[in-house]
C-alpha cells in the first residue's frame, strides 16, 4: 500500500493545504494510506482529516517510512541534513533563487526526490494546479488597502489578517476605500493571477479605473514603463519564465508624483531578473509593506508577500487541491511516472546539474 504523508507547514502563518479532507477520502478509497502530522495552523482541522480516513501523528516527516511520499505546500525549514524521501511542494529552488544550491544539495546528499508543484505542467507547459487566481485577488485587495492606509497615515501598515471568506475581504476593501476614485494598472492582466486581481477590483466599485496590460502593451513601450507612475496602484501579475526588461526602477520612481503602492503579486525578488527593481526581499504578513528603493518625496510602498492566498485559505486550498488530486492519484497508483510528473522530475535533475550536483 502506498503511503502519503501530509506534513505540517514550516512557513509561519501558512494555513493552506495541498490536500483537503475530501481529497483524503478519495485517496483512501483508492487504496492509499494517508498520514497527517497534527497541526493547529491548517484551515481544516485534525478532526476533519481523521474523519476522512487519515491517520494522525505527532511524528516529524523525517521519521516517516522510507517509501512514504511527503506532501506539503511551502518551503521546508532550512537544514543541511540530507533528504532521503520523495517530496512534493513549492521549493522555489529551480530558478536560481537565493539558497537554492543548499536545498538541492540536501536532496543530492540523501538521494531524495523533489517534485516541485510549480513545475507540474502538461505537455503545453500549463501548470496543472496553481494558486494564481487567489494570489491576484488577495494581492489586489492588499494593494487597495495599502493605498487607503498610506493616503491618510505615515504609520506602518498593520499586520495582514486572514479572512473567513472572499466576501469578507471584498467588504473590508470596499469599506477602506470608501468610494475614493482609484487608478490601477495590472501588468499580466490576461493570466490567472491578473484575472483574480481584475475580479477583486470590479467587485469593489466602478470608481476604480483599470489599465489592463499584457504582453502586447508591455512589448510596445520603452523600458522601464513610464505609464506605471501615472497610476495610484501598480499590480504585477507576470509569471517570470525568462529574463525581461525592468518594468520599474529607482530612476523612474524618482520622477513619481502619483504612484503610491506597488503590489508585486509575482513576488520574485531573489531572482536575478526581478523586473520590479525597487526592492530585494519579500515582505511578510506581519509587515506587509516596505518603502521602495528610489522612492523620494512622494513615498511608494511595496507589497511582496510570497504566500498571499493564505489570507483566503479555504477557497484557495479547495481550488488548488481539487486540481491536483487526479494527478496525485495517478502518481501514487503505479510504478511508472505519468507525463506531468516526468516533466517535473526533469526540472529537478536539471536544477541539480546547474549546481554540479549528482543524481
Could you give the residue numbers annotated as active site? 74, 92
Query: Parallel, antiparallel, or unpaired for β 182-187 and 113-116?
Result: unpaired
By CB atoms closer than 10 A (0-12, 13-18, 19+), residue 50 is middle
**Cα–Cα distance, 147 to 332 (Å, whole number):** 46
State how far the Cα of 90 lies from the Cα of 97, in Å rounded to an integer: 13
Q: How far is CA 103 from the centre of its chain?
A: 18
Element housing 253 (H / E)? helix 250-253
CA dihedral 179, 183, 187, 190 (to 10 degrees): 60
User: Which of 114, 81, 143, 107 shows the shortest CA–CA distance to 303?
Assistant: 143
Q: What is the DSSP string of 22-67?
A: HHHHHHHHTT-EEEEE--SSSSS-HHHHHHHT-EEE-S-GGGS-TT
Torsion angle in degrees (nearest 10) through CA of 338, 344, 348, 353: 90
| DSSP string for residues in 154-198 | -SPPPPP---SSHHHHHHHHHHHHTT--EEEEEETTTSHHHHHHH
What does the alpha-carbon distance between residue 32 and residue 12 come to, in Å, rounded to a whole number? Answer: 29
**In this structure, are residues 233 and 143 in contact, taking their beta carbons and an 8 Å threshold?**
yes
Q: How many angstroms separate the Cα of 138 from the Cα of each of 130, 161, 183, 293? A: 14, 11, 18, 24
Distance, CA of 111 to CA of 114 (rounded, Å): 10
Which SS3 state, helix, strand or coil, does residue 233 take?
strand
Amino acid at each position: 500500500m502506498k503511503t502519503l504523508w501530509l506534513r505540517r507547514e514550516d512557513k509561519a502563518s501558512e494555513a493552506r493545504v495541498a490536500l483537503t479532507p475530501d481529497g483524503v477520502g478519495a485517496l483512501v478509497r483508492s487504496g492509499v494510506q494517508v498520514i497527517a502530522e497534527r497541526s493547529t495552523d491548517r484551515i481544516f482541522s485534525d478532526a476533519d482529516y481523521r474523519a476522512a480516513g487519515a491517520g494522525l501523528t505527532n511524528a516529524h516527516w523525517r521519521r516517516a517510512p522510507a517509501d512514504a511520499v511527503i506532501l506539503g505546500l511551502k518551503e521546508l525549514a532550512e537544514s543541511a541534513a540530507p533528504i532521503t524521501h520523495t517530496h512534493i511542494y513549492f521549493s522555489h529552488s529551480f530558478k536560481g533563487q537565493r539558497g537554492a544550491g543548499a536545498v538541492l544539495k540536501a536532496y543530492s546528499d540523501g538521494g531524495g526526490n523533489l517534485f516541485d508543484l510549480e513545475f507540474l505542467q502538461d505537455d503545453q507547459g500549463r501548470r496543472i494546479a496553481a494558486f494564481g487566481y487567489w494570489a491576484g485577488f488577495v494581492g489586489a485587495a492588499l494593494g487597495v488597502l495599502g493605498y487607503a492606509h498610506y493616503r491618510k497615515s505615515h504609520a506602518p501598515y498593520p499586520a495582514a489578517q486572514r479572512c473567513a471568506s472572499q466576501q469578507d475581504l471584498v467588504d473590508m476593501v470596499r469599506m477602506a476605500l470608501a468610494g475614493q476614485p482609484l487608478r490601477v494598472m495590472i501588468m499580466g492582466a490576461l493570466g490567472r493571477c491578473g484575472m483574480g486581481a481584475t475580479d477583486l477590483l470590479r467587485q469593489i466599485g466602478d470608481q476604480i479605473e483599470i489599465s489592463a496590460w499584457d504582453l502586447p502593451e508591455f512589448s510596445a513601450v520603452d523600458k522601464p514603463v513610464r505609464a506605471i507612475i501615472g497610476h495610484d496602484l501598480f499590480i504585477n501579475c507576470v509569471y517570470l519564465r525568462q529574463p525581461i526588461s525592468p518594468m520599474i526602477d529607482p530612476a523612474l520612481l524618482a520622477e513619481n508624483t502619483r504612484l503610491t503602492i506597488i503590489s508585486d503579486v509575482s513576488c520574485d525578488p531573489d531572482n536575478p531578473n526581478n523586473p520590479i527593481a525597487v526592492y530585494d526581499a519579500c515582505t511578510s504578513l506581519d509587515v506587509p509593506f516596505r518603502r521602495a528603493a528610489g522612492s523620494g518625496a512622494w513615498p511608494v510602498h511595496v507589497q511582496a508577500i510570497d504566500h498571499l492566498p493564505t489570507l483566503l485559505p479555504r477557497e484557495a486550498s479547495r481550488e488548488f487541491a481539487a486540481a491536483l488530486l487526479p494527478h496525485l492519484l495517478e502518481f501514487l497508483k503505479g510504478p511508472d511516472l505519468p507525463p506531468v510528473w516526468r516533466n517535473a522530475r526533469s526540472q529537478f535533475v536539471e536544477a541539480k546539474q546547474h549546481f554540479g550536483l549528482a543524481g
